[in-house]
Chain A
Amino acid sequence: MKGLIILLQRFADYVAYTLFGLLPSSHLGAAIDFFIYDTIKIFLMLSIIIFLVSMIRSFFPAERTKRILSHKREYVGNILAALLGIVTPFCSCSAVPVFIGFVESGVPLGVTFSFLISSPMVNEVALIMLWGMFGWQVAAIYITTGLIVAIVGGFVIGKLKLEHLVEEYVYNIKMGETELATLTWGERVAYAWEYVVDILKKVWLYVIIGIAIGGAMHGYAPADFLVKYAGKDNLLAVPLAVLIGVPLYSNAAGIIPIVHVLMEKGMAMGTVLAFMMAVTALSLPEMIILRKVLKPKLIGIFIGIISVAIIFVGYLFNAIMG
C-alpha cells in the first residue's frame, strides 16, 4: 500500500513537473500535481473496494435480509437492521418493494426505518471517498456515527407507534415466496464487476469535477479562508451545512474532494460530518418515492428525526475535536 502511494506520487510529480514543466512551488504546479494524484488514487480505490463490497453483497439480497430481520425485537432488531443496511444492495428505486416486503414479513416499523436510514447513509462510495481523502479514522468515525444515527432514529420512530401513518394498502399486500437460485462464484464475480462499472459510470464525472475544484482551491484559497464562517465557533454552520447538503443528493463522490479542501481551509470536523450525512441520508428523490408507502406526516417525522440527529452529531464532534 505504502509503495503504491509513493509510486502514485512520483507519477503525479513526473506529469506535473517534468511533462508539463511546471514549478513545484507554483500554484498551478501544486494544483495539477494534487489533481493527478487524487484522481488516480480515488479511481483505484473505488474500483477495488466496490468490487469487494459487491462480492459481500451478493450474499445478502434484500429477500435474505428480510428473513433475518423478520419478527426481531427492537434494540437487537435496530442494531441488526443498521448493520445489514451496509451490506444489502439497495437503490432508492427499490425502496417501495423493500419497505412493503419488510412490513409484510413482520419486521417492526422502527427496525425497518433503521435499515432505511443506514442503507443510503453508510454507502461504499462515501466511505471510500472519506477514506481516500481524510484517512481511515474519519471513515471509521463516519461509519460509527452513521450506524448510531440509524439505530437511534429507527428506535425513536418505533417507540412513537406510527404504524397508522403507513398507507393502509401496504398492510393488505400478501407477498409470495420465491426461491432464487444460489449464485455461483463466477456469477458473483460478474455481478461485482458489473456493479463497479455501473458506479464508475455514474460518478466519474463528479469525482473529476470535485477533485478539480478541490485542487484549484487547495492551490489558491488562503489557508484560514473558512475559519470565520465554518469554524467550530460559528454555531449556525452545522444546521446550515445540513440544509445545503439536502439537495446535493447522491453526489457524495463529487462533494467529498471539495469538502476535504473546505476542511483544510478551516471548516470544523463536526460540520464536515453533518454535511456529509445530510448529503447521503436526506435525499429528496427518496422521500418522493417513499411517499407511496408513507403518509406525509410520517415522512416529516422521518426527516425531522434524522436532521436533529445529524445536527447533534455535528455539534458533538465540533465540541470534542475542537
Chain B
Amino acid sequence: MNIKILGTGCSKCANMEKITREAVAKLGIIAEIEKVEDIAIIMSYGVMSTPALVVNEQVKIAGKVPNLAKVLEILKAEL
C-alpha cells in the first residue's frame, strides 16, 4: 500500500502523519508512507486544503486531521 501525506509542513500535517503511522502499525500492514511537501505535487492531486491523505494515489481526506478510527477505516477499505 502506498500512503502519502500532503502538507506544507504545518503542525496539523505532522499530526496527520503521526496518526497514519499509528494506524499502519496497528493494522500490521506493510505500507510505504511518504510525506509530500512540494507544492506542485500537492496541487497535482487537486487538493487545496492541507493536510491531505492519499492512499494508493486516491485523495481520501483533505483539509482536516482525521482521528485514528477514521484512518483505520480508510486503510481497511483499501486492503
Contacts and interface: CB of A to CB of B under 8 A. Distances in A.
Interface of A: 61-63, 66, 89, 93-94, 96-98, 100-101, 104, 169, 172-178, 180, 191, 194, 292
B49 A89 contact: yes
B64 A191 contact: yes
Nearest to B61: A180
B44 A174 contact: yes
A104 B40 CA distance: 11
A9 to B, nearest CB: 38
Given A93-B8, A93-B12, A94-B63, A100 B49 contact: no
A61 B44 contact: no
Consensus secondary structure, chain A interface: helix
Contacts of A292: 39
Contacts of A61: 48-49, 62-63
20 contacts: A61-B63, A62-B48, A62-B63, A63-B49, A89-B49, A93-B12, A94-B49, A94-B63, A97-B8, A97-B39, A97-B42, A97-B49, A98-B48, A174-B44, A175-B43, A176-B43, A177-B46, A178-B47, A180-B62, A191-B64
A101 B59 CA distance: 16
Interface string B1-22: 0000000101010000000000
Contacts of B63: 61-62, 89, 94
User: Chain B interface secondary structure, helix, strand, loop or mixed?
Assistant: loop
Interface of B: 8, 10, 12, 39-40, 42-50, 59, 62-64
Given A61-B48, A100-B43, A178-B62, 4 more contacts: A61-B62, A93-B12, A169-B40, A177-B46
A98 B40 CA distance: 12
Name the residue in B39, B45, B59 with the highest tally of chain A Cβ atoms < 10 Å from its Cβ: B39
Contacts of A172: 40
Contacts of B48: 61-63, 66, 94, 97-98, 101
Given A97-B39, A169-B40, A173-B40, A178 B49 contact: no
A175 B64 contact: no
Contacts of A178: 45-47, 59, 62
A97 B12 contact: no
- Kindly name the residue among A174, A175, A191 whose own CB sees the greatest number of chain B CB atoms within 10 A: A175
A196 to B, nearest CB: 13
A169 B39 CA distance: 10
A175 B59 CA distance: 13
A209 B62 CA distance: 34
A104 B42 CA distance: 13
A101 B49 CA distance: 10
B51 to A, nearest CB: 9
A292 B38 CA distance: 12
A175 B49 CA distance: 13
A177 B58 CA distance: 11
A173 B62 CA distance: 19
Contact of A93 (B10, B39, B59): B10
Contacts of A194: 64
B62 to A, nearest CB: 6
A98 B49 CA distance: 7
A194 B39 CA distance: 27
Contacts of A63: 46, 48-49, 62
A63 B46 CA distance: 8
A267 to B, nearest CB: 36
A261 B40 CA distance: 48
Of A63, A169, A191, A292, most buried by chain B (CB within 10 Å of CB) is A63
